Structure 1
Amino acid sequence: MDLEFVMGVPPYVLGLRRHVGHGLILLPGASAVVVDDGGRVLLVRRGDNGRWSLPAGMVDPGEQPSDAAVREVFEETGIVAEILSVGGVATHPVVYPNGDRCEYLNVWFRCRAVGGSLRADGDESLEVGWFDPAALPELDSWSLLRLTTGSAWFQPAGAPPHPALTSPDAL
């Protein structure tokens, strides 16, 4: 398995991959629903698959999910975000184009933009933009779940899983 530097993958995870190959790894993730003063939503066109999504990424060892969400927003978009509330928490499977399998425990946050300048990083994000909620581009099911649920959403215990949480090909 080729383990040269992979876009946005922390060295910690690359080390795990040396041991498990493409096998399943449970990873912490954080994402952000960022809105501007006009109510537009911040989206990124992902570098790994070219699809529009919310800013998101892995939580590094020793990092709090809230710090990871703010960091990922800035790294991927150039926007400084302030967290307003927890949006929700859920797990979801991912299969990356190289065959790596992950199950993310994702915490997402409702945020507002407080500064920065909009720009793509050219690696994790190919394009970034503000979108009116009534005119969004096609989004993966996880982004739609995070955009449409209220604060502190979670999958109720014992309930059938929300369809967005079971689709590994949504990445």
Structure 2
Amino acid sequence: MPISEYYKQLRGKVGTELIVMPSVAAIIRNGDHEILFQYSGEGEYWSLPAGAIEPGEAPAEALIREVWEETGLTVKPNKLLGVFGGKDFRFTYPNGDQVEYNVFVFQCTIVKGELCPVDGESVDLRFFKEDSKPKIALPYPDLIFKNVPLADVYYQWDEEWIKK
């Protein structure tokens, strides 16, 4: 579903003003180690299968739901790759809604299903090689797209935070 009742009600109160939105995104690879991206049909940007965390949901639970809604795949979250946010993760939708995402990015394994969007948010779902990924809306660090063992969690931070 493009926007849940919870976020619809919130938008009814704040309009298009900036809201901070807890969310999840998935790195899903096929047998050729390509990464799944989705295209909504609006603008030039692709995205990872992703979405908002609803009230009462754990991040992994939201991830499983969102991936199924957007791709028709059931996945198992295997590892938290990182938690990203801040002003670089702000996005304005074509309708003017402004969000600043705090994103939990998980590495996932496909459990079952076939690529077929359920909620109508995706007009194209495609696997891309790591070195030819499409232009994406959010500035995820390149490290999360690498097919190499990673530390348990990659943290985005800035030396300036220490000086404050």
TM-score band (shorter)?
A: 0.7 to 0.9
Q: For the structure 1 residues 120 and 144, does the alpha-carbon distance in structure 2 shift closer, same or farther, using more than 3 Å as the test? A: farther
The residue number in structure 1 matching 2:145 is 147
Instruction: Indicate the SS of the match to 2:139.
Output: helix
Percent of counterpart pairs with the same letter?
32
Deviation at 1:127, TM superposition (A): 0.8
1:26 has 2:20 as partner: yes
Q: For the structure 1 residues 141 and 13, does the alpha-carbon distance in structure 2 shift closer, same or farther, using more than 3 Å as the test? A: closer
Deviation at 1:47, TM superposition (A): 4.1
> What runs of 5+ residues in structure 1 fail to find an aligned partner?
1-6, 161-171
CA distance in 2, matches of 1:86, 1:29: 13
The residue number in structure 2 matching 1:74 is 68
Instruction: Indicate the SS of the match to 1:73.
Output: helix
Q: TM-score, normalised by structure 2?
A: 0.82
CA distance in 2, matches of 1:156, 1:140: 20
Equivalent position amino acid for 1:147 in 2:
F
Equivalent position amino acid for 2:145 in 1:
L
Q: Pick which of 132-141 and 83-92 moved more.
A: 132-141
Query: Is the contact between residue 44 and residue 135 of structure 2 (CA under 8 Å) also seen in structure 1?
Result: no
The residue number in structure 2 matching 1:56 is 50
Q: Pick which of 91-100 and 41-50 moved more.
A: 41-50
Deviation at 1:122, TM superposition (A): 6.6
CA distance in 1, matches of 2:119, 2:69: 10
Q: 1:129 aligns with which of 117, 126, 129?
A: 126
Deviations 1:6-56 (A, max 9, x none): x61111111111111111111110000011232121111124435321100
Q: 2:82 aligns with which of 79, 85, 88?
A: 88
Deviation at 1:113, TM superposition (A): 1.6
Instruction: Indicate the SS of the match to 1:120.
Output: coil
Equivalent position amino acid for 2:98 in 1:
R
Q: For the structure 1 residues 140 and 20, does the alpha-carbon distance in structure 2 shift closer, same or farther, using more than 3 Å as the test? A: closer
Paired residues in the alignment total 154
Deviation at 1:86, TM superposition (A): 0.2
Deviation at 1:111, TM superposition (A): 0.9
Query: Is the contact between residue 50 and residue 126 of structure 1 (CA under 8 Å) also seen in structure 2?
Result: no
